[in-house]
Structure 1
Amino acid sequence: MVGTQLSVRSICFGFLLSLSFSSFSFTKAQTPIYQGSYCQNTTQEHLTTAYKSNLEIILSWMSSDAATSKGYNYTSIGNKNTVYGLYNCRGDVVGYFCQFCVSNAAREIPQHCPNSVSAMVWYDFCILKYSNENFFGKILTHPTWHAVGTKNISNKEETKKGEDFMRSLIRKATVETSMLYYMDAFNLSFTQSRYGMVQCTKDLTNDGCRECLEAMLAEVPKFCEQKLGWFIWSGTCMIKYDDQMFYLLNNQSSSSRESDKHGGRKRSKILIMSFSVMGSTTLLCLGVYFFCYRRRDGIRLSSFHKIQTEEMLNTDLPIIPLITILQSTDNFSEASKLGEGGFGSVYKGILPDGRQIAVKRLSEFSGQGSEEFNNEVMFIAKLQHRNLVRLYACCLEENEKILVYEYMPNSSLYFHLFDDEKRKQLDWKLRLSIINGIARGLLYLHEDSRLRVIHRDLKASNVLLDHDMNPKISDFGLAKAFEIGQNQANTKRVMGTFGYMAPEYAMQGLFSVKSDVFSFGVLVLETICGRKNNGFYLSEHDETLLLYAWRIWCEGKSLELMDPMLENSFKASEVEKCIHIALLCVQENATYRPTMLDVVVMLGSDRLTLPKPKHPAFSVGRKFSEEVPKSKRSKNLLSTVVTISITLPR
């Protein structure tokens, strides 16, 4: 029992310490901080048009190139009025965050150095330079800049140890690894550690880098020797020393990890011992409770996290740093929120390269959301079609589960279709285009994709509209993949949206491609009439949308279903054909429903003779038999409809 208590307490302490440490590192790395700029050959006159044009091109190139490079690159633009440009991110920063820093620098350097033929700008995570002269490979040791901390060195021996430590980093950066950067830590004492980093721009040779770094180190006695933290840099290299870990752990060297790990263990032991002496009875009790009663949940979450990580790696889906997402969404601010659902919240953001994104953040309280997240990663990463929403990247960091999609500026079909004012903008040509686009997207899922995917939650709110009002199917949280030769599956966990679910799925848990066909039929009817299927029976018709549409079609009055707002734009033959196809899709017996290939062919042809639809699926509404003339009824038409009411909330 004593051993268990100590184990629990150690777990609690370790958790608290790691949380504190992670928070510190993250906060320090959150925003690229402007350090300074150096403007040369500044003129009161405007730059020539040719030079300015080349400069704009090279700044734009650096902004985009930084996302896919190894954190640095340099090139020149133009045979005349040539501009030479270079960017270099800190060795521990790559990918989206490097691009964020470089893009920020490229955007702001004209403001810091207006009308400058040559300029440099520094941030704590990157440097950007341009000039009308070729500076690649040239060492710059003058001028230099420096910044110092507020704390003074209390131990005189630290000066010598710190200098030796920084020299060892220079040696590792230029001789042992040839990386031109290195970061590491050492234990000054049993309770204190020191951290350092050296780096050169990647256009230098090893010898050139060493010369530059040693020149920076020679500046320390002049400005920084008595300070606990300092930072010295020139246009081609930098050195930094501090008592706090300022670099990121993502890409640091293995020796740096080992050094920090050993130091962390020592400090953790001391803190644990101190805390034990203080007698943390409360924390111990909470720890025992957490360990005993929450352990299984923790194991489940840990396993889920591991599975997700492995599956994401298998899908080749890019991983985006959490820090980039926070920057793009203003720390998930309310102003950037687009909406909220069962999965969690969705936010609008802007990546460093200017792309607008929709960020889907799994709520930590959403049990259903965990499975949805897994499905989204598994399916959308492998699916590419113009009528499916594109998934850019995902993030599993700091216990966050986040998906990053392309941003749809026109929101969802639901947003337009069921709003009296916005619906006016949806003329018949546009509605028909949306219907066709949804059909093609479903056909791809069912027949043409690498996986045979059943969406299971097709509805107006899951059809998003891009800048040109092209429809894109979204939200694959409930999707299921079929194996080759598999046509139907069964589930005990029926999930979806009432009003769009096929009867065999809602009542028996059976789903197939025909389940999606049913949902498509409902969606087509809603698109034509501008009314929701759910709640339609509360209107003056006192019938469900499906029963009403089928009845008036049988009476030869199907155009009465049409939204009055389409009166000036519709083509009667097209509207009637779409209603006819929709009724084929919502037939009660799944066997009679067409496939999505059949639907696409029918939508694209004016010469096909369409089969007569049979009775639509069950629904909520009044019985009817005598209202439909016998001459209009099909042979298998039921005389009554059973009134059924089910509630399956999403």
Structure 2
Amino acid sequence: MASHHLVPAAALLLAFILTAPSAGQPPIGQFCDSSANFTANSTYQANIRLLNATLPKNASSSPNLFATGTVGTLPDIVYALALCRGDTSAANCTRCVTTAFQDAQQRCPYNRDATVFYDPCALRFSNQNFLSSTDDGGNVLAYVNVQNVSAPAKVFDAAVGALINATAVYAATNSSRRFATGEKGLGNFDKTNPKIYGLAQCTPDMAPADCRTCLQGIIAMTAKGFSGKKGGQVRGLRCSYRYEQYQFFNGPSLLQLPEPSPALAPSPSPAPANMTPLPSRGGSKSNGAARILAITLPIVAAILASIAICLCLRRKKSKPVRKASVSYPTNPEDIESIESLILDLSTLRAATNNFDESNKLGEGGFGIVYKGILPGDEEIAVKRLSQSSRQGIEELKNELVLVAKLQHKNLVRLVGVCLEEHEKLLVYEYMPNKSLDTILFDPDRSSQLDWGSRFRIVNGIARGLQYLHEDSQLKIIHRDLKASNVLLDSEFIPKISDFGLARLFDSDQSKDVTNRVVGTYGYMSPEYAMRGAYSIKSDVFSFGVLILEIVTGRRNSVSYDSEQSVDLLSLVWEHWTMGTIVEIMDSSMTSHSPGDQMLKCIHIGLLCVQENPADRPLMSVVTVLLSSSTVSLQAPSRPAFCIEKSGANDSDIHTEPYRGNSESTSRSPMSPNEVSITELEPR
């Protein structure tokens, strides 16, 4: 049975000093497997000493400060691995690994399998061949600084998430070292500690995909425990990450991320500084704080829910009952946000001149969209669901609760809702440049979008999706991202719209499966179209298609060469492999456009449409790739090709994948303002 030890909080402070451990200084932690032992002066011990004589020098002399070794034959063979942190000097690496060998034998006396962690290095030796595996084997230590941040917790957590994800992908793509450091500003949210710093590392022998998987696993494992805390780190033999509000690593940051967008959030109460270990994957017991939270949080939630229900009952008694009203959730924040969005029917009739035909912006299967002007000269787009529309009150309520809580410059803003008499009305901010497809695919208007505008649109869509997937307090899968669902304001800033098909995920949920597939042909990922499996990587696939459309100016669902290429992905891949990709870039853009930037976008688009969801990058990774000129991109494989439905052109679908049949939804031309909600199923 393996025994796992976590050092006291006071000892952990030593981990913050980036120098080699001195004699007698304890490690951050160790794992000792007492199930198999050796005897003093045995062949096994002699083999450990041989490794101790060679491995420290081999690691420090390696460009990536990493070394493995094997000595002896069965049954006394010893396998060992040593890794020093990427910013450590060679001399410190030598001293640290040497000390680690000594400590491992003292703290795990006569154990054949031992692992020790110092801040600048990690070491494991074993009689089992763990070198052939890239798994940490459960030997993971997690520590958190329990002092609360002074910035709003949700803003800080989002910034940490963006930084850690960015450094993780940089480490995975850094082929020579598998190491990355980064920093992200907090702006005015924390003037005392205006930045956070992060570090991610894998062993250099890992493939990029394995490094990414390893880091994502330990990041997900500790995300909740680190919420709102000033610092935290997870140490594994194969991969590690750490973040702090001070620069704890040597040298300049390899990545510099922009400050977070302004947002409102309550400030957490300060707590006394104390470095507390979180539970390790190896089996350590939960700390006291975790147990307290586990007990108190459900009680607090129950009390808040009871208060909210009482408030709802009081309001119901004091207000006249309407013929149609919104059923409120029991979350007080949801109640406030939804009530502030309710608009009177008389107000909307006046704003649209009683839904006059002259104010009609467009029409779709849902009904008609009208332009209106509210008191104060605010321009709006009013979506009036027709009586024949299959959109119901429950579906409207789901979208309303969802969109009301999303605030981002690259998401369309919901102005209000009206459910009076027989009307079902959704009111959005007005987008004067309508939807992206109305300009991008119009031969007469596409020249309005020069490369600078298109690149800003790509970046804006990426940031909006990152917010939905990773940075907002909710985790949203859009499921219907396409050019007609991206609206453009007067300055061509993109706004993602139409959350009718969106799904809300739990923070620890990674995917789901439905037997009723809804969405748009050409933008659907293969796993969703064929098996009904969807995740944030499904949206990434749609985003990849959208990038290729923006760069080439071509719809994904049109056949250009009946003999060779039946869809945009096939066409792009064909030219990519032949080295003639420039030939299919939109000719309406000026000849002075930066070709290298266009090529990078094509490259990122191809990475996003890989057949295996695990091979597609996270949106936080995409935003880093778009903004960085130093991160190298891995070569894409042949993308997944979605079979185009005969005669379909950007059409919505509803399919039963397990029965092998599909049915195209009959619909009118989409609204030029594209603020429609497509048919959805209740969550």
Superposition TM-score, scaled by structure 1 size = 0.48
- Higher-Rg structure is 1
Q: Which has the higher contact order (CA 8 A, sep 6+)?
A: 2
